[in-house]
Chains A and B, each alone.
Chain A
Amino acid sequence: MRPDRKKHYIYYGSFCLAIFIASIFLSMRGTADVSLETLSALQSQEAEKISPGTVFLDEDKKIDALDHVILHDSQKEKTTIWIWDFADHDGDYVQVLADGHPLSDPFMIKNTARKLSVPSEAVIQIKGIKDGNGGEGITYAIKFGANDVSYLNSIDEGKHSTFELKRK
């Protein structure tokens, strides 16, 4: 083999190797947190003081669809919520409504939390728009800034889950 041809092969081969390494870095995402706290949170479907975006499971798992009444002592007019996919990021879509009014267009939930501002006293509904690849329903976690608690929940397409925010 001539050296000029070999040089081209090695240059392009190294370029391909660089693409491979870059693709590994780009596709890396957080692995599931398997601490005792997260395991108990999975059973109770509630967790205090966890960071928005915490991944609890590597794969989707059917959990109960629950509604909650949230009592808090925040005096502010608005509070923050974070919503994310706590399991496999598989293309689930939801829409957030406050007192029946949409707060945004339907959006895809990912492992990275999406932040929204909602009234401190309102009925927050999470509407299931599309179940992605998992087929286990739409699984999501929602954290309320008002009481610093995260709730793990699931909904089916077209259904709602409800969180009623009330001051104590």
Chain B
Amino acid sequence: MKRVLVNILSTLYFIAVLLPVMLLIFLMPVFFLIEVGSMRTSGFIEPFPALAIIGFISLFIAISLLIPFFRKAYDVLPWLFPFVKILLTNTLILCTGLAILSYGYEEYNQARHAEYFWYMIAFLFAGRLLMCMYFKWRPAFKASQEVTEHEA
């Protein structure tokens, strides 16, 4: 009975919370491009709740990893853990890049806008490069792979 209840709770959390979170982090590059495009076109900051988004995404992922019965989703779907790890890191990079651009757009000055746009591009490039190096050094799928190897 307890096992059934745990399975139901875990499934509900996956469908109601984790799936929307995954969709959000998956679509984050699109939101990022829309936001940057709108700032480049208007010349003004369009307030974007980047910190709130990062905060809530991190909280829901933390809950799913730290509370034992919510972890079931990661066991059933071995790709889920690397997916979340890579896309959350990507979201952090994009939101930091957006914060850099927003700082530049606090003043309405074309030269300053262009300068901070290139700072953002440089940061995104460096961030993605470091991310790739990190995941090559410590593959995101290691946890799942270890188990598969053990089980094999």
Contacts and interface: CB of A to CB of B under 8 A. Distances in A.
Interface of A: 1-2, 4-6, 8-10, 12-14, 16-17, 19-20, 23-24, 26-27, 90-91, 93, 95, 104-108, 110, 129-130, 132-133
Contacts of B66: 9-10, 13-14, 17
A107 B108 CA distance: 6
10 contacts: A5-B75, A6-B71, A9-B74, A12-B85, A13-B65, A90-B47, A105-B108, A106-B107, A107-B108, A132-B47
A75 B62 CA distance: 60
Interface of B: 44-47, 51-52, 54-56, 58-59, 61-66, 71, 74-75, 81, 85, 88, 92, 105-109, 112, 142-144, 146-147, 150
What are the 3 tightest A-B residue pairs by CB atom distance, in nearest-first order?
Answer: A13-B65, A23-B55, A16-B62
Contacts of A132: 47
A10 B51 CA distance: 23
Contact of A13 (B46, B62, B146): B62
B65 A9 contact: yes
B108 A129 contact: yes
A19 B65 contact: no
A42 to B, nearest CB: 24
A60 to B, nearest CB: 13
Contact of A91 (B45, B58, B107): B45
Contacts of A8: 81, 142-143
A91 B47 CA distance: 7
Contact of A19 (B55, B63, B85, B147): B55
B43 to A, nearest CB: 9
Contacts of A24: 55
A26 B51 contact: yes
A88 to B, nearest CB: 10
B107 to A, nearest CB: 5
A108 B106 contact: yes
Contacts of A10: 65-66
Query: Counting chain A CB atoms within 10 Å of each CB, which of B58, B71, B105 scores highest?
Result: B58
Nearest to B56: A20
Contact of B52 (A2, A14, A23, A93): A23
A16 B61 CA distance: 7
A6 B81 CA distance: 12
B146 A2 contact: yes
Given A2-B147, A130-B44, A105 B59 contact: no
